[in-house]
C-alpha cells in the first residue's frame, strides 16, 4: 500500500477543509492521527470533512473521523460530506461510543498508600493465621469422625497420593541428600585434616544428617515438589468450579481432597527423611573412602558417634514438617481466585511459606530438644 495520501488539509477563508482519501484502516491509524493532530490548532470556525475519496474504512478510521468531528471543545461548525453509503452504519455505531468520560482514577498520597499497604498486609497475615487454625480445627474434627467410620479415610486416594509424593520422589531425594552428605564430608575432611581430627568428620556427618540436614533438606524438597503441586491442583480445581461441584454433591472438599493429601504427606515425609538420611550417610562414606578411610572404619566410627536419640530427634520432627507443608499448600490452593496469575502467585507463596515455616519449626524443635537434653 505504500505511503499513499490519506488526508489533505486546505485552509480557506474561515473554513478548514479536510479531504480524506485512501485506506482509513488500522494499519494507517498512527499516520492519520498525526495529520489530524497537526490540523487541530487551526482556528477556523467552520470545518468540513470530505470522505468521498476514502477507499477502505474500518473501526479505527471511523473513530479517527469521530474524534475529528467531536473536536477539542472549541465551538465549531462541523459538516461531513460525501460519506459513502456503505460506511454510514459503522460511523453511526462508533458515534455512540466513548460518550461517558472515563472515571477519574483515585490517587492516594504516597506515604498514605504505603501505610495502607502495611495495614492490608497485617490484616492478611491475621486472616491467614485464622484460616490455618480453622483448617486445623476442621481437619481434627474430620479425623475424629473418620476414626469412628474408617471408610471415610478414602484409602484409594491416600495410596494414590502416597505413590505421587513418596515413591516417585525417592530418586531425586536420594540424589540430593547423597550429594549433601558427600559435600559435608568433603568440607569436614578438608578442614579437620589440618589438625589431624579426621575421625571427627564421621561425627559431623552422622549427627548433622540424622538430626538436622536429613529432615530439613527433605522437607524443603517436598515443599517444592509436592507442596507446590498440591497448591496448583487444588487451585485449578477451584478455578474450574470443580470444588463447588463437589460441595453441591454433598461432599466436603476437605474430606475428599485435603485429608488424603495431608495423611499421605505425613506418612511420606518420615519415610523420605529416613531414606534421605541413609543416602547422606552413604554419600559421606563414599567421600571418606576417597580420603583414605576404610568403609569398615567409617561404619564402626559411625556406630560410636551417633546415638539412637539423634535418629529419634530427626524422625520426630518429620511428621510435623509434613503437616505444616501440606496445610500451607492446601490453604493456598483454596485461596486461588479466577486468574492464572493468582494461581502462580499462590503456588509461589505456598512454597515460600512452607519453607519458611519448616525452618522456623526446626529452630523451635532444636530449642525444645536441647532443653529436654536429647
Partner 1 sequence: MEDASAPNAIEVADLVVEFAGKRVLDHLSLDVRTGEILGLVGASGGGKSVLLRTMLGLIPKRQGRIAIFGVDQDKATLQELQTLERRWGVLYQQGALFSSLSVFQNIEFPIREYLRIPQRLMREIATAKLEMVGLKSEDGEKHPSELSGGMTNRVALARALALDPAIVFLDEPTSGLDPIAAGEFGVLIQTLQRTLGLTVFMVTHDIVALRTICDRIAALAEGKIVAIGSMSQVLETEDPWVKSYFRSVRSAPSSAPATP
Q: Which positions lie near partner 1, rule CB under 8 A?
A: 25-27, 29-30, 33, 56-60, 62-63, 67, 86-87, 89-90, 93-94, 96-98, 100, 102-103, 337-342
**Does residue 215 come out as left (phi exceeding 0), alpha (psi in the -120 to 50 range) or beta?**
alpha
In order, the DSSP letters of 94-107 are HHTSS-SPPPPPP-
Contact 322, 263 (CB under 8 A): no
- Least distance from partner 1 to the Cβ atom of residue 374, Å: 49
Q: With respect to partner 1, which residue has the nearer C-beta, 43 or 72?
A: 72
Q: With respect to partner 1, which residue has the nearer C-beta, 36 or 259?
A: 36
- Least distance from partner 1 to the Cβ atom of residue 145, Å: 34
**Can you tell me whether residue 7 is helix, strand or coil?**
strand
- Least distance from partner 1 to the Cβ atom of residue 238, Å: 11
**Cα distance from N-terminal residue to C-terminal residue, the chain:** 84
- In this structure, what are the phi and psi dihedrals at residue 9, rounded to the nearest 5 degrees? -105, 125
- Least distance from partner 1 to the Cβ atom of residue 34, Å: 10
- Least distance from partner 1 to the Cβ atom of residue 58, Å: 4
- Least distance from partner 1 to the Cβ atom of residue 260, Å: 28
Neighbours of 323 (CB within 10 A): 18
Cell of 201: 568428620
Q: With respect to partner 1, which residue has the nearer C-beta, 89 or 304?
A: 89
In angstroms, rounded to a whole number, what is the distance separating the alpha carbons of residues 338 and 23?
41
Which residues is 10 bridged to in the sheet?
17
Q: With respect to partner 1, which residue has the nearer C-beta, 33 or 164?
A: 33
Q: With respect to partner 1, which residue has the nearer C-beta, 62 or 325?
A: 62
Sign of CA dihedral 216, 219, 225, 227: negative
Number of H helices, E strands in the chain: 15, 4
Q: With respect to partner 1, which residue has the nearer C-beta, 29 or 44?
A: 29
Closest CA to 138 of 311, 340, 313, 327: 327
In angstroms, rounded to a whole number, what is the distance separating the alpha carbons of residues 371 and 251?
45
**Can you tell me whether residue 132 is helix, strand or coil?**
helix
Alpha-carbon distances, residue 34 vs 39, 92, 155 (angstroms): 9, 24, 70
Q: With respect to partner 1, which residue has the nearer C-beta, 289 or 342?
A: 342
Residue 249 exposure: Cα atoms within 13 Å on the Cβ side: 10
- Least distance from partner 1 to the Cβ atom of residue 218, Å: 34
- Least distance from partner 1 to the Cβ atom of residue 102, Å: 6
- Least distance from partner 1 to the Cβ atom of residue 88, Å: 8
Closest CA to 168 of 262, 260, 275, 256: 275
Q: With respect to partner 1, which residue has the nearer C-beta, 282 or 345?
A: 345
Q: With respect to partner 1, which residue has the nearer C-beta, 111 or 338?
A: 338
Closest CA to 329 of 272, 269, 273: 269
Q: With respect to partner 1, which residue has the nearer C-beta, 211 or 238?
A: 238
- Least distance from partner 1 to the Cβ atom of residue 69, Å: 14
Amino acid at each position: 500500500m505504500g505511503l499513499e495520501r490519506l488526508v489533505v488539509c486546505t485552509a480557506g477563508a474561515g473554513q478548514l477543509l479536510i479531504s480524506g482519501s485512501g485506506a482509513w484502516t488500522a494499519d494507517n491509524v498512527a499516520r492519520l492521527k498525526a495529520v489530524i493532530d497537526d490540523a487541530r490548532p487551526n482556528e477556523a470556525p467552520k470545518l468540513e470533512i470530505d470522505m468521498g475519496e476514502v477507499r477502505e474504512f474500518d473501526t479505527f478510521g471511523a473513530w479517527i473521523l469521530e474524534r475529528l468531528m467531536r473536536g477539542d471543545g472549541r465551538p465549531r461548525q462541523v459538516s461531513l460530506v460525501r460519506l459513502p453509503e456503505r460506511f454510514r452504519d459503522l460511523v453511526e455505531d462508533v458515534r455512540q461510543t466513548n460518550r461517558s468520560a472515563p472515571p477519574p482514577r483515585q490517587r492516594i498520597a504516597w506515604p498514605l498508600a504505603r501505610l495502607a499497604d502495611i495495614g492490608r498486609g497485617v490484616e492478611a497475615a491475621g486472616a491467614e493465621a485464622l484460616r490455618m487454625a480453622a483448617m486445623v480445627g476442621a481437619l481434627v474434627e474430620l479425623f475424629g469422625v473418620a476414626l469412628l467410620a474408617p471408610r471415610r479415610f478414602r484409602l484409594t486416594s491416600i495410596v494414590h497420593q502416597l505413590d505421587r509424593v513418596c515413591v516417585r520422589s525417592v530418586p531425586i531425594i536420594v540424589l540430593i541428600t547423597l550429594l549433601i552428605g558427600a559435600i559435608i564430608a568433603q568440607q569436614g575432611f578438608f578442614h579437620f585434616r589440618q589438625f589431624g581430627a579426621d575421625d571427627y568428620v564421621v561425627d559431623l556427618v552422622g549427627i548433622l544428617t540424622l538430626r538436622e540436614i536429613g529432615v530439613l533438606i527433605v522437607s524443603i524438597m517436598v515443599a517444592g515438589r509436592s507442596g507446590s503441586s498440591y497448591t496448583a491442583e487444588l487451585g485449578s480445581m477451584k478455578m474450574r468450579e470443580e470444588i463447588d461441584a463437589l460441595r453441591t454433591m454433598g461432599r466436603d472438599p476437605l474430606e475428599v481432597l485435603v485429608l488424603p493429601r495431608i495423611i499421605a504427606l505425613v506418612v511420606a515425609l518420615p519415610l523420605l527423611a529416613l531414606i534421605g538420611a541413609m543416602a547422606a550417610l552413604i554419600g559421606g562414606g563414599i567421600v571418606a573412602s576417597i580420603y583414605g578411610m576404610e568403609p569398615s572404619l567409617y561404619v564402626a566410627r559411625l556406630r560410636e558417634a551417633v546415638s539412637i536419640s539423634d535418629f529419634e530427634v530427626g524422625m520426630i520432627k518429620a511428621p510435623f514438617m509434613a503437616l505444616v507443608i501440606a496445610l500451607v499448600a492446601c490453604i493456598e490452593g483454596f485461596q486461588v481466585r479466577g486468574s492464572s496469575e493468582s494461581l502462580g502467585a499462590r503456588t509461589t507463596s505456598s512454597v515460600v511459606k512452607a519453607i519458611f515455616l519448616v525452618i522456623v519449626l526446626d529452630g523451635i524443635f532444636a530449642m525444645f530438644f536441647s532443653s529436654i537434653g536429647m
